[in-house]
Amino acid sequence: MKKMFVPVNEPVISKIEKDYLLKCIRNKEISSSGKFVKEFEKKFAKKVNRKYAIAVSNGTAALQLAYESLSLKKGDEVIIPAFTIISCILPVIRSAATPVLVDCDINTWNMDVKKTINKITKNTKAIITPHIYGLAVDLDPLIKICKKKNIRIIEDAAECLGLKYKGLPCGSFGDVSTFSFYANKHITTGEGGMIVTNNKNIYERCKSLRNLFFNEKRRFKHFELGWNYRFTNIQASLGLAQLKQLEKFVRIKRRIGNKYISKLCNLKHVIQPIKKLKYCENIFWVYGLVIKKNSKLKLNEIRKKLLNKGVDTRNFFWPLNKQPILNKMGYFKNQKFPVAEYLSENGFYIPSGLALTKKQQDYVIKEVQDILNREK
């Protein structure tokens, strides 16, 4: 009998996606020029309560252009949580601005808002606020002080499309906000990203930066340097099909997450995700588990045992202050962020993709319970 294998994530691709893709191919609109991209941008902007949307090749590209649109310069300080993907810091370093790290909250795993506010100086020009693993950053205190001090917010909403903060969509709060459509996100275009804003100047600049800063009056004549981060109509057709199903996907994610919470609540060795806060309800982009400090469990041993049973897992983010390449470049030496470091060394997530079946989830629950309860 073949052993079951449950991947961390699998996307849902159905007849709806196939029909959109076939329509795109029949129209021969497969490059970045065509109606599908424009339609996807328009519908996506409406979905997240924004005036403008710019589709790009991936989530990292979205962060890069969002950052570039603010025209920050050398010496400007940009606050970033230590616990996030390296994509958030890349544009800061490449622009020669100064990244300032802040620790995260042990319960929400998001940036610690009080510590973030305490890191603000006269040189702070922007704060990047990634919502981690499906739970929103508490944005209101940051928005209030940023408006007062004229600090820009880059809201990284890659992991929480469909989540609402105090009744409004995540991605609708930053001066500029970004999304990713990688295969493990709530909607996917294979690879892809989106920048959204209500600021027309930011919108126009991101559009130009996405397309090599081509001059409308004389093509191939350039007055600024940009990138080729264009988004194709094939990707957009897939995105349109997925966007139609977003509410259903959110329900699936919450059903998976809530079932894990109810079935794994008695595990004494691990911390589980927060189900609900006063300002948002977890959307469970991934379902994370963190080994408690008083436990003798070892992260790699647990992951190896689960893999031997056919249950795939992933480590949490590695903290930015301990990234080897950043340390080699002279950043963050001797800086400590204990919560971020603890989460990275003790956190992992289990299968929770949209295609996860009831049979697969029941199997994962059984194996996680058996392995973790076996430990004393």
Alpha helices (runs of H) in 211-245, residue ranges in sequence order? 233-243
**Residue 69 domain flag:** yes
pLDDT of residue 155: 98
Total structural domains within the chain: 2
Rounded Cα distance, 338 and 141, in Å: 23
**Residue 1 domain flag:** no
pLDDT of residue 342: 98
Claim to verify: residue 319 and residue 370 sit in the same structural domain? yes
**Residue 44 domain flag:** yes
Q: Are 4 and 348 in contact (CB under 8 A)?
A: no
**Residue 200 domain flag:** yes
Return the structure tokens found at 331. Answer: 């950043």
Rounded Cα distance, 107 and 129, in Å: 17
Claim to verify: residue 212 and residue 66 sit in the same structural domain? yes
**Residue 2 domain flag:** no
Claim to verify: residue 219 and residue 260 sit in the same structural domain? no
**Residue 4 domain flag:** no
pLDDT, one tens digit per residue, over 53-106 is: 999 999 999 999 999 999 999 999 999 999 999 999 999 999 999 999 999 999
Claim to verify: residue 50 and residue 169 sit in the same structural domain? yes
Which residues, at least 6 apart from 316, have a Cβ–Cβ distance to it below 8 Å? 83, 288, 290, 343, 344, 346, 347, 348, 349
Claim to verify: residue 127 and residue 276 sit in the same structural domain? no
pLDDT, one tens digit per residue, over 322-359 is: 999 999 999 999 999 999 999 999 999 999 999 999 99
Which residues span the domain enclosing 110? Answer: 15-243
In DSSP terms, 215 is beta-bridged to none
For the chain, what is the mean pLDDT?
95
Residues 356-364, mean pLDDT to the nearest whole number? 98
Return the structure tokens found at 104. Answer: 């995260």
Exposed/middle/buried for 189, CB within 10 Å: 0-12, 13-18, 19+? buried
Band of pLDDT at residue 376, cut at 50, 70 and 90? low
Claim to verify: residue 368 and residue 264 sit in the same structural domain? yes
Rounded Cα distance, 363 and 163, in Å: 28
Return the structure tokens found at 244. Answer: 């139609």
User: Can you give the CATH number for the domain in which 97 is found?
Assistant: 3.40.640.10
> Does residue 221 carry a pLDDT above 90?
no
Claim to verify: residue 114 and residue 224 sit in the same structural domain? yes
Claim to verify: residue 239 and residue 297 sit in the same structural domain? no
Residues 10-18, mean pLDDT to the nearest whole number? 95
Residues 134-156, mean pLDDT to the nearest whole number? 98
> Does residue 375 carry a pLDDT above 80?
no
Band of pLDDT at residue 373, cut at 50, 70 and 90? confident
Which residues, at least 6 apart from 51, have a Cβ–Cβ distance to it below 8 Å? 45, 197, 198, 200, 203
Domain edge (last residue) among 187, 213, 243: 243
Domain edge (last residue) among 203, 227, 243: 243
Claim to verify: residue 273 and residue 309 sit in the same structural domain? yes
**Residue 10 domain flag:** no
Give Dmax over CA atoms of the chain in angstroms.
72
Claim to verify: residue 310 and residue 209 sit in the same structural domain? no
Claim to verify: residue 23 and residue 105 sit in the same structural domain? yes
Band of pLDDT at residue 173, cut at 50, 70 and 90? very high
Return the structure tokens found at 64. Answer: 């890069």
Least reliable range by pLDDT among 86-90, 107-111, 291-295, 359-363: 291-295
Domain edge (last residue) among 210, 243, 276: 243
**Residue 6 domain flag:** no
Rounded Cα distance, 108 and 280, in Å: 11
Claim to verify: residue 159 and residue 305 sit in the same structural domain? no
User: Can you give the CATH number for the domain in which 347 is found?
Assistant: 3.90.1150.10
> Does residue 1 carry a pLDDT above 70?
no
Alpha helices (runs of H) in 50-199, residue ranges in sequence order? 59-68, 90-94, 113-118, 140-149
> In the chain, what percentage of residues exceed pLDDT 70?
99
